[in-house]
Amino acid sequence: MDLNPPPGENYGHPRICLFHVLFKGAALAFYILSALFVNSFVIIFVVTVLLAALDFWVVKNVSGRILVGLRWWNEIDEDGESVWKFECLDQESMARINKKDSWLFWWTLYLTAVVWIFFAIFSLVRLQADYLLVVGVCLTLSIANIVGFTKCRKDAKKQLQAFATQTLATRFQSTIQSAFSVV
């Protein structure tokens, strides 16, 4: 992954990209600036965690689907067992994903987690347990999304490979068959 956005094309879904970044940025900005302006810890906590939760929802349900074509969720089946499902778009649509969109998606995802980790260390050093709580919750949400989408992407790659080999195998088979039937 490089530091600069891929040149050439524009963003495919600018509004979605905006929302993807908006809540993350708002949570971080509020957390940083609130210490200067807001006196009450409760408000800092509630607003920051609420923004982080909204960001989690947006990334999981909206920008993940639209920007990179990945989706993950949890289901409880008939036996009461918990099953994690990972889905990806089919190959043609995956090839058409806007490169800039996906660059932005992954970079902001990882970057916010790194920033929250930094804040966690900061508040740990200062021994502020309550701020650590806020940062802990936001970090958990970011990491959950990262883990989910990374697993999804790995799964998608495996899927595409399996699809490709299977397609080759069946085409080969059908070619052989048609060759024999003509004879």
Partner 1 sequence: MSYSDTIPLHPSSQSDIDEIENLINSNPTSVLPARPPSPPRASIPISSTPPPPPAFIPSNLPPPAIHKPTPVPSVIPTVPAVAAPKPPLPPSHGSSSSGNIGVTGFGSAPNTLTEPVWDTVKRDLSRIVSNLKLVVFPNPYREDPGKALRDWDLWGPFFFIVFLGLTLSWSASVKKSEVFAVAFALLAAGAVILTLNVLLLGGHIIFFQSLSLLGYCLFPLDVGALICMLKDNVIIKLVVVAVTLAWSSWAAYPFMSTAVNPGRKALALYPVLLMYVSVGFLIIAID
Interface residues with partner 1 (CB under 8 A)? 40-42, 45-46, 49-50, 53, 56-57, 60-62, 64-66, 69, 71, 73-78, 80-83, 85-90, 92-93, 129-130, 133, 144, 155-156, 159, 163, 166-167, 170-171, 174, 177-178, 181
Taking the complex as a whole, how short is the minimal distance between the CB of residue 109 and partner 1, in angstroms? Answer: 16
Cβ-based nearer residue to partner 1, 71 or 117: 71
State how far the Cα of 43 lies from the Cα of 70, in Å rounded to an integer.
34
82 near 170, Cβ under 8 Å? no
Cβ-based nearer residue to partner 1, 22 or 49: 49
Cβ-based nearer residue to partner 1, 85 or 126: 85
State how far the Cα of 171 lies from the Cα of 102, in Å rounded to an integer.
32
Taking the complex as a whole, how short is the minimal distance between the CB of residue 111 and partner 1, in angstroms? Answer: 21
Helix (H, G, I), strand (E, B) or coil at 47: helix
| Positive or negative: CA dihedral 112, 114, 120, 123 | negative
Per-position b or e across 65-94, b if 16+ CB within 10 A of its CB: ebbbbbbbeeeeeeeeeeeeebebbeeeeb
Taking the complex as a whole, how short is the minimal distance between the CB of residue 105 and partner 1, in angstroms? Answer: 15
Taking the complex as a whole, how short is the minimal distance between the CB of residue 7 and partner 1, in angstroms? Answer: 25
